[in-house]
């Protein structure tokens, strides 16, 4: 067979990385710098992601500046208060720590940059561009785990305020705001499962064969 082929042991490594990739929460992060060479590997993995029409519609802002992180954190606090009211019937919301903005050495804001010309494959479903950016994020997240780095994805943000803070081009869309750092320990289960917020869905709940109304 031409091209790279993987051995069982290598497949297991990927399975392990997928299994152990986690979202870590604020108080688990430690004060330790991320070497530039490691950051470069994370960015490399993002840039290897698949994209509709090979459009690579992603842009990344690497944030190390503490004053910028503080502005983003202030933005989070406002949105978090709004969310707290929405989930007022769930007291456990107050125990969730949904960001690690100013306690992680690197934040990365990931943007979708729409194209001004038609993209192969994106002419019927415009969302394919944003989906492509999500795949770059997933690549980066898995590589981060392989580097024993943790990620906290913050989505309780006002997109326009974040764009203003980062001087982002008007047409860009914020897809992900990632806080990256080393942690005391990696959590076995998703934090929201530990907090009894959600459970992992069973395979039978989400996988259908041939069509939605076909007997299993
Ligand atoms: C699109 C997206 C947005 C998310 N936003 C947040 C967030 O605002 N705050 C947070 O703590 N985690 C956020 N997460 C992490 C999820 O809570 C987490 O992926 C989920 O609970 C499963 O846990 P795991 O990543 O450890 O498998 C987000 C994840 C995704 C994919």
Domain ranges of the chain: 22-206
Residue 189 confidence (pLDDT)? 96
Residue 129 confidence (pLDDT)? 98
Indicate if ligand 1 lies below 6 Å from the C-beta of 197. Answer: no
CA of residue 77 to ligand 1 center, whole Å: 17
Indicate if ligand 1 lies below 6 Å from the C-beta of 154. Answer: yes
Which pTM value belongs to this model?
Answer: 0.97
d(Cα 192, Cα 206) in Å, to the nearest integer?
A: 19
Q: Which one is the CATH code of 22-206: 1.10.1760.20, 3.30.950.10, 3.30.750.24, 3.40.109.10? A: 3.40.109.10
d(Cα 144, Cα 140) in Å, to the nearest integer?
A: 6
Residue 215 confidence (pLDDT)? 61
**Helix, coil or strand: residue 186:** coil
Cβ neighbours around 175 below 10 Å, total: 22
Indicate if ligand 1 lies below 6 Å from the C-beta of 83. Answer: no
Indicate if ligand 1 lies below 6 Å from the C-beta of 28. Answer: no
Question: What's the whole-number average pLDDT of the chain?
Answer: 96
Atom of ligand 1 nearest to the CA of 134: 1
What pLDDT, in 10s, does the model give residues 111-161?
Answer: 999 999 999 999 999 999 999 999 999 999 999 999 999 999 999 999 999
């Amino acid at each position: 067979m031409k091209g790279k082929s993987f051995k069982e042991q290598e497949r297991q490594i990927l399975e392990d990385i997928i299994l152990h990739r986690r979202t870590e929460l604020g108080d688990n992060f430690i004060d330790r710098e991320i070497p530039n060479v490691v950051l470069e590997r994370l960015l490399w993995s993002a840039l290897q992601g698949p994209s509709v029409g090979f459009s690579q519609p992603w842009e990344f802002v690497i944030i190390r500046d503490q004053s910028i992180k503080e502005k983003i954190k202030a933005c989070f606090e406002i949105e978090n208060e709004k969310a707290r009211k929405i989930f007022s019937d769930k007291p456990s919301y107050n125990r969730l720590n949904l960001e690690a903005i100013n306690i992680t050495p690197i934040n990365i804001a990931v943007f979708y940059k729409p194209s001004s010309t038609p993209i192969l494959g994106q002419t019927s479903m415009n969302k394919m561009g944003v989906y492509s950016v999500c795949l770059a994020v997933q690549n980066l997240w898995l590589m981060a785990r392989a580097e024993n780095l943790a990620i906290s994805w913050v989505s309780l943000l006002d997109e326009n305020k974040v764009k203003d803070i980062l001087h982002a081009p008007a047409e860009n869309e914020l897809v992900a705001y990632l806080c990256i750092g080393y942690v005391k320990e990696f959590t076995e289960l998703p934090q929201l499962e530990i907090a009894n917020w959600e459970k992992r869905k069973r395979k039978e709940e989400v996988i259908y064969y041939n069509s939605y109304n076909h007997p299993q």
